[in-house]
Each structure stands twice: as C-alpha cells, then as structure tokens.
Amino acid sequence: MTSMRHRQSSLVLWRRHMPVALCDVMVMIQKARSLMQTFIERGGWWVSAQFGLLFALVLAPSELPWLPALSFLREQGALIAGFILGGCGVALAGAGLLHLGANLTPFPRPRDNGALVQHGVYAIVRHPIYSGIILGAFGWSLVRGSSVALALSAALLIFFHFKSRREERWLVERYPEYADYQQRVKKIIPFIW
C-alpha cells in the first residue's frame, strides 16, 4: 500500500513539474542554437579546423610507410634549426598576442567593439600570430624529425592563407583603412608574403 502511494505521489510530482522542466529544456535548446549561430557567424569552423590541424601536427608520427623518409630530418642541423624556428615562432606569436590586447579573439571575425591594430609587430606582418604558429609548427617538425609533421606544417601554412583571406574580408568591412594597411604590410611572412 505504501509503495502504491509513493508511486502515485511521485507521478503527481512529476506531472506537476514536467512543464517547468520542459520549459527549461526549451530555453537550453534556444540558448544552444543562439551560441551555435554566433559560433558560425564569427568563423568558428575555421577555429575548429585550426585546432584539429594543430592537434594532428603535435601527435604526428615520425614517418608513414607511404611517405618518403627525409634523411636531413635526422641531422643535428635540423634539430638546431627547429629550435631556432620554434623560438622565433613563440616570440612572433607572443608579440602578436600582446599587441592585440583586448582585440584578441579566437575567431576570424573581428570583435564588434575592437580597434584595428597596426603598431608593434603588426607594422611588420598583418598576421603575426599565424606566422608564429607556422614557424613553431615547422620548428616542431624539425625537432621531432617528422616528415609527417613537416607535411602537416605545410598544410597549416596553406590553411592560414585561406583563413586569413576570409578574415581580411571581414576586416575590410569593419575597418575601411584596412585596405591601405594590406598594401603597406605583408600578410604572413614579414617583408616577403
């Protein structure tokens, strides 16, 4: 008898609170949709792909059976060059992060309340964080002696080229002076490209 009453009271409580719980679920779904829309509008898929590539690069094996082995990767000079490239990459990306300050966002679309930064390392290259990551990736590949990581570093360079093209369309829309900045300062490789 007691278990029957317990079941009935549990059922009554469940029915009484179900609309509230259902409303909570609907609100959570709406918030998730809004966040997803913001993620897409700000270029979140670019960020996801970037982190996927970086993750693959860090965990890349030294060699794959179908990829040719590169003997120069095993030499001490490659190791030294890798540390130098990695150090330069960290310095360049770090300077880019510092100069961006409050304008920093992981997304390619600039912040609504941001300002165009053209000083410091941004006077030398338009995308110093991307440049630093690319240098760091090539440095990591050389330190590890990994032809797979080297191939992924080249893929990362190509990826950042396309990501920066999309980002720059948004920057030109937001900051009309960005077009002049593009003419004066190279995109990824200081003074070259």
Identify the pLDDT of residue 109: 94
Burial 43-66 (b: 16+ CB within 10 A, else e): bbebbeebeebbeebeebeeeeee
pLDDT tens sequence across 115-165: 999 999 999 999 999 999 999 999 999 999 889 999 999 999 999 999 999
Q: What is the pTM of this model?
A: 0.80
Identify the pLDDT of residue 117: 97
Per-residue tokens: 85: 């490239």
For the domain 43-184, what is the CATH code? Answer: 1.20.120.1630
Express as a percent the part of the chain with pLDDT over 70.
85
Domain ranges of the chain: 1-41, 43-184
Identify the pLDDT of residue 150: 94
pLDDT tens sequence across 8-62: 555 555 555 555 566 666 667 777 777 777 888 889 899 999 999 999 999 999 8
Identify the pLDDT of residue 191: 83
